[in-house]
Amino acid sequence: MVADAAVHHRTVEVDGITIFYREAGPPDAPVVLLPHGYPSSSFQFRNLLPALGDRWRAIAPDHPGFGYSDTPDPRRFAYTFDAYADLLRRFTEALDLTRYVIYLQDYGSQFGLRLAMAAPQRVAGLVIQNGDIYEDQHGPRYAPLKRFWREPTDEGRERLAAAVSEEGFRGEFLGELPDRLVDRVSPDLWRLSAALLDPPRRDALVRLLADQGSTLAWFPRQQEYLRHHRPPTLIVWGPHDGYMPEGAARAYLRDLPDAELHLLDGGHWLLETHLDEVARLVRDFLGRVHP
């Protein structure tokens, strides 16, 4: 694996919000956009960025309320999936990004897919890694969330808030990984995320978690986008995932029958356990669709 490109740490103002982002690669190289998942930050791409930066400009922003980006007052930023998707679009405009491959994982898959739908002509391809849009393939870990979506009670919201903690984050990152893979996952993932929590940020993340049910209405539209536009797509998936098991990966073939699918022996945070394999597959894909 190539891993010698320098990673730069920068900020940009987007609608008055300071957004931190990591970037590797020449400024004139083809762009790979990497929106992160919950409860992580651009830190989840810390090893993939230098693995791509010799040939591509890889850019990973921290969303508001995550990592080193601002946590604005909810009166300025809504902490909904709609707001985050719009912020990602505005981020690409601030950096003058007009053509890109988008890496879709976890919550970042919702933000990234909506960006693709807003400007399909800008999408050179998609890399989909444990980011689901097929409700019939949801895994068992969705059950408590779905109870809240059906009945959004104060008690249910308190349970969401309890999960916004170091222990809750640890459970998200380790998930259903087999014991033999657990020690490959850096504890920095949950400890750094927890260290950055303060009351405003905790409230912001609870607001976002509470809004997740709104994504279901987007699933049919996202599936239609894939069927209609057929963007070149690499699907690389860790099936040891209580939210998004193997069926959630295979479901994409309903709408993208020509997509390239690889199931690796990992889980939701595949870059922690199978970085070399993912980097090799992504580099090969990018070399064909976004040279």
**What's the pLDDT tens digit per position in 216-244?**
999 999 999 999 999 999 999 999 999 99
User: Model-level pTM?
Assistant: 0.97
Q: Which pair of tokens denotes residue 280?
A: 């090799």
Closest CA to 110 of 91, 94, 87, 92: 87
CB 56 within 8 A of CB 127: no
Cα 151 from Cα 153, distance rounded (Å): 6
Is the omega angle on the peptide bond into residue 64 within 30 degrees of 0, that is, cis? no
Tell me what pLDDT residue 174 has.
98
pLDDT digits (tens, 9 = 90+) for 4-40: 799 999 999 999 999 999 999 999 999 999 999 999 9
From residue 290, give the alpha-carbon distance in Å to each of 48, 57, 125: 17, 11, 8
Tell me what pLDDT residue 2 has.
47
Cα 124 from Cα 288, distance rounded (Å): 10
pLDDT higher at 1 or 4: 4
Tell me if 91 is assigned to some domain: yes
Tell me if 61 is assigned to some domain: yes
Tell me if 270 is assigned to some domain: yes
Domain containing residue 43: CATH number: 3.40.50.1820
Looking at residue 30, its amino acid is P
Tell me if 196 is assigned to some domain: no
Cα 133 from Cα 245, distance rounded (Å): 12
Cα 136 from Cα 220, distance rounded (Å): 12
State yes or no: pLDDT of 110 exceeds 60. Answer: yes
Strands 233-237 and 260-263: parallel
Residue 258 sits at φ, ψ, to 5 deg, of: -95, 5
CB 147 within 8 A of CB 135: no
pLDDT digits (tens, 9 = 90+) for 138-194: 999 999 999 999 999 999 999 999 999 999 999 999 999 999 999 999 999 999 999
Tell me if 162 is assigned to some domain: no
Cα 97 from Cα 31, distance rounded (Å): 8
Closest CA to 66 of 174, 193, 208: 193
CA 55: distance to chain centroid?
22
Region 70-94: what's the mean pLDDT?
98
Tell me if 199 is assigned to some domain: no
Cα 239 from Cα 264, distance rounded (Å): 7
pLDDT digits (tens, 9 = 90+) for 61-77: 999 999 999 999 999 99
Tell me if 24 is assigned to some domain: yes
Cα 127 from Cα 189, distance rounded (Å): 22
Cα 157 from Cα 172, distance rounded (Å): 18
State yes or no: pLDDT of 266 exceeds 90. Answer: yes
Tell me what pLDDT residue 183 has.
98
Residue 125 sits at φ, ψ, to 5 deg, of: 170, 170
Domain count, the chain: 1
Cβ burial of 142 (10 Å; 0-12, 13-18, 19+) is middle
Tell me if 16 is assigned to some domain: yes
Range of the domain at 59: 7-141+215-289
Average pLDDT, the chain: 97
Tell me what pLDDT residue 217 has.
98
Mapping DSSP onto H, E and C, the string for 42-66 reads HHHHCCHHHHHCCCCEEEEECCCCC
